[in-house]
Amino acid sequence: MAEEEPELSDEQKKGIAKWFLINAPAGEIQYVAKDLKSVLKDDAVYNEAAAEAFHIYNKSHLISLKMPGGYGDVLVTSYGELHDNEYLDPKTTQVAIVDHVKQVCKGVRSATDEELPSPYIEEYRYALEAELLKYVAEAYPKGSCSVYCTNGKDVEGPGSDFELVAVISSTRNSPNNFCNGSWRTIWKIEFKDDIQILELKGKWKVGAHYFEEGNVQLDAKRECRDSAMFQGPDETATAIVHLIRHHENEYMASLEGSYLDLSDNTFKELRRKLPVTRTLFPWHNTLLFSFKREIDEELGIRK
């Protein structure tokens, strides 16, 4: 007689639940949470897992939440995190109080002077954010962005180094059409005063999930570096956004090239020797299965 499988401990169940929640595709964590709750049948275990997982998920996906009082949206990022549930919105100098599990902003308060950068740093931060907003409105109609000071926020004038981080987040969720996706970029800009140089480090995370009669996911990452001259706030902002635009356009072109290759080459390599349906696959016309066309239509990225 076969031995019965040992019962999982509550800690093991919580760990498994957290993994599923954290790894949910963009815009789908609430659906995963609903199914997990019904499978676990243990509110205590689920609540512990959700409290930890949603916090991680929301920050990694750079979700955007609407603030009450007409203040606009706030990005939930580690760069603006003041406490576990408080996030600075540099544009409005407001601090959003976030309910991570419900993914809503339940209140706002004014940021204190200690939570904001010095007037000197704010000149550079504000100029970069203004230029970035124009770029995002053009390239990502459903996108959001923020610029944070992550190092040297108390610098009062020339002579010291500091760091800004520009965050761009764009999502397009269309579950009724079985397609969700996100585009997330983080640009760290180090201002080196002694050599009058800016060093940029960019990171991309692009995700898409297409699940009509199947389950196809894209999870792409990339990093890059560049530099520019350290000038006045407006000139510096223009130079930085010019580089961001260049590198993001280049990356988008590389993704499109990969999709074109997917139909003609990569997709054929995935075929079964004998299809389950026992029906010959139309290899002469793989464009019928163009993931690029479907994703472009549904996500609307850079349209």
CATH code for position 255: 3.90.1150.210
Q: What percent of the chain has pLDDT over 90?
A: 69
Q: 202 and 138, same structural domain?
A: yes
pLDDT tops 90 at residue 301: no
Q: 168 and 75, same structural domain?
A: no
pLDDT digits (tens, 9 = 90+) for 133-145: 999 999 998 899 9
pLDDT digits (tens, 9 = 90+) for 224-241: 999 999 999 999 999 999
Q: Is residue 202 part of a domain?
A: yes
Q: How far is CA 216 from the centre of its chain?
A: 19
Which pLDDT value is given to residue 276?
Answer: 58
Q: 53 and 13, same structural domain?
A: yes
Q: In CATH, what number is assigned to the domain containing residue 102?
A: 3.30.1140.60
Which pLDDT value is given to residue 162?
Answer: 97
Q: Is residue 290 part of a domain?
A: yes
Q: 19 and 88, same structural domain?
A: no
Which pLDDT value is given to residue 293?
Answer: 56
Q: Is residue 1 part of a domain?
A: no
pLDDT tops 50 at residue 1: no
How open is the CA angle 288-25-171, to the nearest 5 degrees? Answer: 80
Q: Considering its fold, how many domains does the chain have in total?
A: 3
Dig out the tokens for 272 from the structure: 């079964």
Q: 263 and 128, same structural domain?
A: yes
Q: How far apart are the C-alpha atoms of 184 and 186, rounded to whole Å?
A: 7
Dig out the tokens for 26 from the structure: 């963009």
Mean pLDDT of 61-73: 94
Please say whether the dihedral angle defined by the alpha carbons of residues 265, 266, 270 and 276, taken in this order, is positive or negative: negative
Mean pLDDT of 266-294: 55
Whose tokens are 């690029």? That residue is 292
Q: 255 and 225, same structural domain?
A: yes
Q: 236 and 123, same structural domain?
A: yes
Which pLDDT value is given to residue 3?
Answer: 57
Is there a contact between 60 and 71 (Cβ–Cβ < 8 Å)?
no
Domain of 138 in residue numbering reads as 117-268+277-299
Using 50, 70 and 90 to split pLDDT, how confident is the model at 278? low
Q: Is residue 148 part of a domain?
A: yes
Using 50, 70 and 90 to split pLDDT, how confident is the model at 273? very low
Q: Residue 125: which of 148, 155, 157, 152 has the closest Cα?
A: 148
Dig out the tokens for 286 from the structure: 């793989």
Q: Residue 177: which of 299, 263, 289 has the closest Cα?
A: 299
Q: How far apart are the C-alpha atoms of 277 and 109, rounded to whole Å?
A: 60
Mean pLDDT of 120-125: 97
Q: 78 and 21, same structural domain?
A: no
pLDDT tops 80 at residue 13: yes
Q: Residue 202: which of 217, 190, 219 has the closest Cα?
A: 190
Mean pLDDT of 1-6: 58
Q: 138 and 162, same structural domain?
A: yes
Whose tokens are 């960019």? That residue is 202
